[in-house]
Amino acid sequence: MLAVYAQSISRTDPLSGLVVGERPDPEPQQGWVEVELKAATLNHHDLWSLQGVGLPESRLPMILGCDAAGIGPDGQEVIAHSVIPSPGWSGDETLDPKRSLLSEVHQGTFSERFTVPAANLVPKPEGMSWETAASLPTAWLTAYRMLFTNSGVTPGGLVLVQGAGGGVATACIQLGAAAGLRVWVTGRDEAKMERAVELGAEAAFPSGERLPEKVDAVIETVGAATWSHSVNVLRPGGAIVIAGATSGDAPTKAELTKIFFRQLRVIGSTMGNRTELLRLAKLMQTAGIEPVIDSTYPLADARSAFERLESGENFGKVALTA
């Protein structure tokens, strides 16, 4: 079958190890089922994998991809939840220290057919497009948990999203606005900042700029480049919810004094659990939210999709269709 996989690892030139080619058909293990791919979306995670983050050479070749929607057993239309708990784990799977995401230990979703634990399938809401469904399991689920489980901000509260155009960032703007939060955004690019406002952000500011008002929470996935700004813009007692560090995880200043003196909270957030994915899918349907899809490519042209994501020029999700 046609698949998009990592053949080798390169920290400096991740796309050099990317192959679009034939891989053997998957063979579901006990309790797992096969899904026929309809659409998948890329995440920064796929670039990290090609750089060896969470994916050692010993596991190669590895089919990439955390996100997908397709046709499950008995012909149901399904979304695949990407967090794979260890055998015997019960409770919130994001707290399982031995969990993995599809494409880390088990083969990922960028192939004509892939396998997933039967318990990880979630029904695709009726009428939802394949690209929308395939956007939910990673970026959108992460945004959902950051905003609604971890930030503590209620409707009318003010949230700053660092980074205007990323998959998680655009999801936070759309979900936050739909839920009645006031959403401010920072960006490095004027056009992306304008688009963020069109999407529902109340205001957009150049990256690092002083804000007119302190915010209740910051949604942080950029990391080192924005860390000090995230600390400085919070009201006393406010929260930084952090789920990523795209620009690096070693900021020049940790800002420890400001964090304790102003009683700020730093809350780690990773993906979301199956219940949150079900609720997210329901919210998308009832609120009529359509994720911003930057571009869509056929699976056979996945290299162009990776080039688009790597360029950083995307606004919203980059999708693949089978």
Ligand X SMILES: NC(=O)c1ccc[n+]([C@@H]2O[C@H](COP(=O)([O-])OP(=O)(O)OC[C@H]3O[C@@H](n4cnc5c(N)ncnc54)[C@H](OP(=O)(O)O)[C@@H]3O)[C@@H](O)[C@H]2O)c1
| Binding region for ligand X (CB under 6 A) | 43-45, 48, 138-139, 142, 163-169, 187-189, 192, 207, 221-222, 225-226, 243-247, 270-271, 309, 312
Identity of the residue, 73 or 208, whose beta carbon is nearer to ligand X in the bound complex: 208
CA–centroid distance for 69 within its chain: 15
* Shortest distance (Å) from residue 224 CB to ligand X: 8
CB 266, min distance to ligand X, A: 14
DSSP, res 252: S
Residue 2 makes CB contacts below 8 A (sequence gap 6+) with 20, 21, 22, 111, 112, 299, 300
Specify whether the CB–CB gap between 39 and 130 falls below 8 A. yes
Helix, strand, coil percentages (3-state) for the chain, rounded to 5, are 35, 25, 40
Helix (H, G, I), strand (E, B) or coil at 195: helix
Both structure tokens of 61: 């070749």
Nearer to ligand X, 107 or 273 (CB): 273
Nearest approach, Cβ of residue 274 and ligand X (Å): 14
8 A C-beta contact, residue 173 and residue 185: yes
**SS3 at position 254:** coil
Residue with Cβ nearer ligand X (31 or 210) = 210
Question: Who's near 163: CB < 8 A, 6+ residues apart?
Answer: 169, 185, 186, 187, 207, 221, 222, 226, 246
For ligand X, the closer of residues 72 and 187 by Cβ is 187
Nearest to ligand X of 123, 312 (CB atom): 312
Nearer Cβ to ligand X (128/169): 169
For ligand X, give the closer residue by CB, 65 or 187: 187
User: Would you say 2 or 267 has its CB closer to ligand X?
Assistant: 267
Closest distance to ligand X from the beta carbon of 309 (Å): 6
How far is it, in rounded angstroms, from Cα 317 to Cα 199?
A: 14
Are 179 and 148 a contacting pair, CB within 8 Å? yes
Q: How far is the CB of 56 from ligand X (least distance, A)?
A: 17
- Contact between 108 and 63 (Cβ < 8 Å): yes
With b for 16 or more beta-carbon neighbours within 10 A and e for fewer, the 223-254 pattern comes to bebbbbbbbebbeeebbbbbbbbbeeeebeee
Phi first, then psi: what are they for 197, rounded to 5°? -70, -40
Least distance to ligand X from the beta carbon of 73, Å? 28
CB of 185 to ligand X, least distance (A): 9
Shortest distance (Å) from residue 278 CB to ligand X = 18
